[in-house]
């Protein structure tokens, strides 16, 4: 019985490492859109070429004895969703639906989906739990999370498999797969790297945006034991200006407009990582 990780990117590669360390058999699959196959050399998992837009690819890689499928394959970059909306929709909408169909057909009992805290939209206040309604979206890569959540839920109810919707904050920390191109880098590691190089940190809107943040090791650990249903995966809620202050070695001033409620335990703290 193996776990199948669709999307052998930044989070998928670290998830595979932790799963294997805990004695699980793992298959990692990707179409090499954002990740190069060679980046997985040395991980030790079986690696397959699979495009989630292809039902045939998915049937081949989800045998009936698959224990759990993790769906992390996506066109996850906001800038690329503007320059290539068709690819974003084909992967994140049609691809997600085809994964649900393939899971149902295989008889696999459990699907874990990497969603995003962005589903709640902007302008939040108070404590945001998983029952908070979806909000307006600013780009197709994040809008597609709402479609995928609802589509996977539809298939899970129809076919009786267990579904975990993990709404991730901004993930940071080292993984075997780190992306070089700026479109695929997120704010925490970008600011850490720029500050270390003595470069300026550019803050949109003064860095007032509130974000949830979480270390990739905590994400991987939580996803491996993901409970059914929707949950937020964020260790801390901070502003982008706080991230910049920590990267510069300054005291963050706070001012987050809301917090994300999360039922999990976290080992890693942002301030320690940025030190």
Ligand X SMILES: NC(=O)c1ccc[n+]([C@@H]2O[C@H](COP(=O)([O-])OP(=O)(O)OC[C@H]3O[C@@H](n4cnc5c(N)ncnc54)[C@H](O)[C@@H]3O)[C@@H](O)[C@H]2O)c1
Residues forming a β-bridge with 111: 69, 163
What lies within 8 Å, CB to CB, of 70 at 6+ separation is 3, 4, 5, 6, 7, 12, 15, 111, 112, 114, 223
Give least dist CB 15 to ligand X, A: 9
Dmax of the chain from CA atoms?
Answer: 54
Whole-angstrom Cα distance, residue 77 to residue 98? 21
- Rule CB under 6 A: is residue 75 a binding residue for ligand X? yes
Give least dist CB 157 to ligand X, A: 22
Among 4, 8, 69, 244, binds ligand X (CB under 6 A): 8
Among 165, 168, 230, 256, binds ligand X (CB under 6 A): 168
Among 18, 33, 47, 93, binds ligand X (CB under 6 A): 33
- Rule CB under 6 A: is residue 212 a binding residue for ligand X? no
The piece of 44-52, 58-66, 224-232, 244-252 that touches ligand X (CB under 6 A) is: 44-52
Whole-angstrom Cα distance, residue 162 to residue 103? 10
Tokens of 120: 């709640």
Whole-angstrom Cα distance, residue 160 to residue 110? 9
Nearer to ligand X by Cβ, of 115 and 259: the residue is 115
- Rule CB under 6 A: is residue 30 a binding residue for ligand X? yes
Residues engaged in binding ligand X (CB under 6 A): 7-12, 30-35, 50-53, 72-76, 91, 95, 114, 116, 168, 170-171, 177, 184, 186
């Amino acid at each position: 019985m193996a776990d199948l990780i669709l999307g052998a990117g930044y989070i998928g590669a670290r998830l595979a490492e932790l799963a294997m360390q805990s004695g699980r058999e793992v298959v990692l699959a990707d179409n090499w859109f954002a990740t190069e196959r060679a980046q997985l050399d040395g991980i030790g998992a079986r690696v397959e070429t699979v495009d989630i837009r292809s039902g045939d690819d998915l049937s081949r890689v989800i045998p009936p004895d698959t224990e759990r499928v993790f769906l992390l394959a996506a066109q996850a970059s906001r800038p690329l969703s503007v320059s290539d909306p068709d690819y974003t929709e084909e992967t994140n909408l049609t691809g997600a639906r085809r994964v649900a169909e393939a899971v149902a057909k295989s008889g696999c009992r459990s699907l874990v989906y990497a969603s995003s805290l962005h589903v709640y939209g902007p302008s939040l206040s108070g404590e945001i739990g998983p029952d908070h309604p979806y909000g307006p979206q600013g780009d197709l890569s994040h809008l597609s999370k709402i479609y995928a959540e609802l589509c996977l839920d539809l298939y899970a109810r129809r076919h009786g498999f267990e579904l975990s919707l993990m709404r991730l904050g901004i993930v940071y920390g080292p993984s075997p797969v780190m992306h070089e191109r700026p479109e695929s880098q997120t704010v925490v590691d970008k600011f850490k790297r720029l500050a270390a190089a003595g470069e300026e940190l550019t803050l949109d809107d003064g860095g007032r945006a509130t974000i949830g943040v979480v270390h990739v090791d905590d994400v991987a650990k939580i996803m491996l034991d993901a409970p059914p249903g929707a949950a937020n995966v964020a260790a801390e809620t901070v502003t982008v200006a706080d991230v910049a202050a920590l990267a510069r070695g300054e005291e963050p001033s706070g001012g987050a407009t809301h917090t994300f409620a999360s039922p999990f335990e976290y080992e890693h703290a942002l301030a320690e990582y940025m030190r």
